[in-house]
Structure 1
Amino acid sequence: MSVDQRALYDARLELVNFLIDALADVPTDEFVETVLRDFVFPEESVSDDLDRGFGQLERFIAANRDRDPGDVQHDLEREFTRLFVGPRPRVLAHETYYRDDTDFRGAGRAKVTASYSAAGWSPPEEYPEEDDYVAVELAFLRYLIRRQRSGAEEAFGYQRVFHEEHLSEWIDDLVEDVREQSQDPFYEAVATLLEGYLTFEEEIAMQMA
């Protein structure tokens, strides 16, 4: 593997790790500290959506860098809870909520799980949400990227199918809802990065599968 290929895999994994941490649960102190102090931005343009998302995140960091990280974490925890937890969440970040061909948390969730099983993956038990939750689907994508990095070419095929049958069917609508409902620029940046990242990943899977 060339240096450029290793760097691309590292960048893909770093961004999906960030998105998983941002969306899986309320942000931890460690996550917030890392974002404010150690987030590494690309040196060159990647794509319009990703560039816009990185710009939004960079402005958020600049506005909060001199604040106590604990205060920033408190603000983000409150906003995450308002958006995704409730008691009346503004956004239900589940594939089956957005699809017209299945009931929310209904039979469609089994199809997501079947996609995981076909590729030899199952969600970690500590994940707090169902298999069709956005952070779980991103964790599956991370698994496939790691397999690709280790030389498993069939993982590109699994990724292409997962984009076609699942991610591409609902993520744009989720992103739109997060943008409309968010009252914090951090989650607006996360939404933009999520949209740009998945478009970028889908292009890779289509080219390589």
Structure 2
Amino acid sequence: MSLDQEALYETRLELAGFLVDAFADYPPEKLLDRLLDGAVTLPEAGVSEELDAGFEKLRAFAAENEGRDVAAVRDDLEREYTRLFVGPRPPVLPHETYYRDDTDFRGKGLAEVEASYSAAGWSPPEEYPEEADHAAVELAFLRHLIQRQRRGAEEAFGFQRVLHETHLSEWVDDCVRDVLANTDEPFYEAAAHLLSGYVAFEGEIAGQMS
């Protein structure tokens, strides 16, 4: 593997990991430490419109919280995550079956998502309490496929193409619009823009390689 390929895999996995953390629960202090200490190097503009917007929002988040206690920042994000995604009556439900017109919320479409995981020999980690169609779980599956690709498993590109064509790419932009319409917290605005841009980026890779 060339250095450029290795760097690309590192970037893909880092973005996937950030998005899993952002949507699975309120972010861990370790991630916030890195963001607020400047330990995360964010690309300059020119990647894509959505990714650029996400990185800019992360810079705004870091600047807004510079010098604050990390635990206090996490408490703020916990409250916003709960309001946005947990409720009661959350304005955003980041589940594929909520946004799909061809299935009921947590209905038969849930089994179809689970079947995609099973076909690739993967099951969601036990630490993810959400249903299989939750954004964080689908992103964790994508991360798993990227890790397999990095190890040379070419069939993982085919599984990724199916993930995009039948699941992930079919609903995330609608979810992103709802997140952006319901929060002015830079961290979650960043997560929304990065989700849209990252899924589009990965969809292009899967289409080219599978």
The residue type paired with residue 11 of structure 1 is T
Partner of 1:175: 176
Partner of 2:3: 3
Distance 1:15 1:202 in 2: 14
Superposition pairs of residues 133-172 of structure 1, within 5 angstroms: 133-172=134-173
Structure 2 contact 85–94 (Cα < 8 Å) conserved: yes
SS at match of 2:126: coil
**Superimposed CA distance per residue, residues 153-199 of structure 1 (whole angstroms, 9 cap, x where no aligned partner):** 11111101110000111101000000001131110111001100011
Structure 1 contact 79–183 (Cα < 8 Å) conserved: no
Partner of 1:71: 72
Partner of 1:25: 25
SS at match of 2:133: coil
Extract unaligned runs of 5+ from structure 2: none
The residue type paired with residue 106 of structure 1 is G
Name the count of aligned residue pairs. 209
Larger mean CA deviation between 160-169 and 62-71 belongs to 62-71
SS at match of 1:195: helix
Larger mean CA deviation between 112-121 and 62-71 belongs to 62-71
Structure 1 position 52, deviation (Å): 1.6
2:205 matched to 1:199? no
2:105 matched to 1:99? no
The residue type paired with residue 171 of structure 2 is W
Structure 2 contact 97–103 (Cα < 8 Å) conserved: yes
Structure 1 position 28, deviation (Å): 2.5
The residue type paired with residue 103 of structure 1 is D
Distance 1:131 1:166 in 2: 11
Structure 1 contact 27–73 (Cα < 8 Å) conserved: yes
SS at match of 2:201: helix
- Normalising by structure 1, report the TM-score: 0.97
The residue type paired with residue 22 of structure 1 is A
SS at match of 1:109: helix
The residue type paired with residue 154 of structure 2 is E
Extract unaligned runs of 5+ from structure 1: none
The residue type paired with residue 171 of structure 1 is V
Distance 2:45 2:85 in 1: 33
Partner of 1:130: 131
Structure 2 contact 44–52 (Cα < 8 Å) conserved: no
The residue type paired with residue 9 of structure 2 is Y
Partner of 1:49: 50
Structure 1 contact 95–170 (Cα < 8 Å) conserved: yes
Distance 2:196 2:203 in 1: 11
Distance 1:44 1:174 in 2: 24
Distance 1:151 1:83 in 2: 39
Superposition pairs of residues 75-86 of structure 1, within 5 angstroms: 75-86=76-87
Structure 1 position 87, deviation (Å): 1.4
RMSD of the TM alignment (CA)? 1.1
Larger mean CA deviation between 41-50 and 181-190 belongs to 41-50
Partner of 2:35: 35
The residue type paired with residue 121 of structure 1 is W
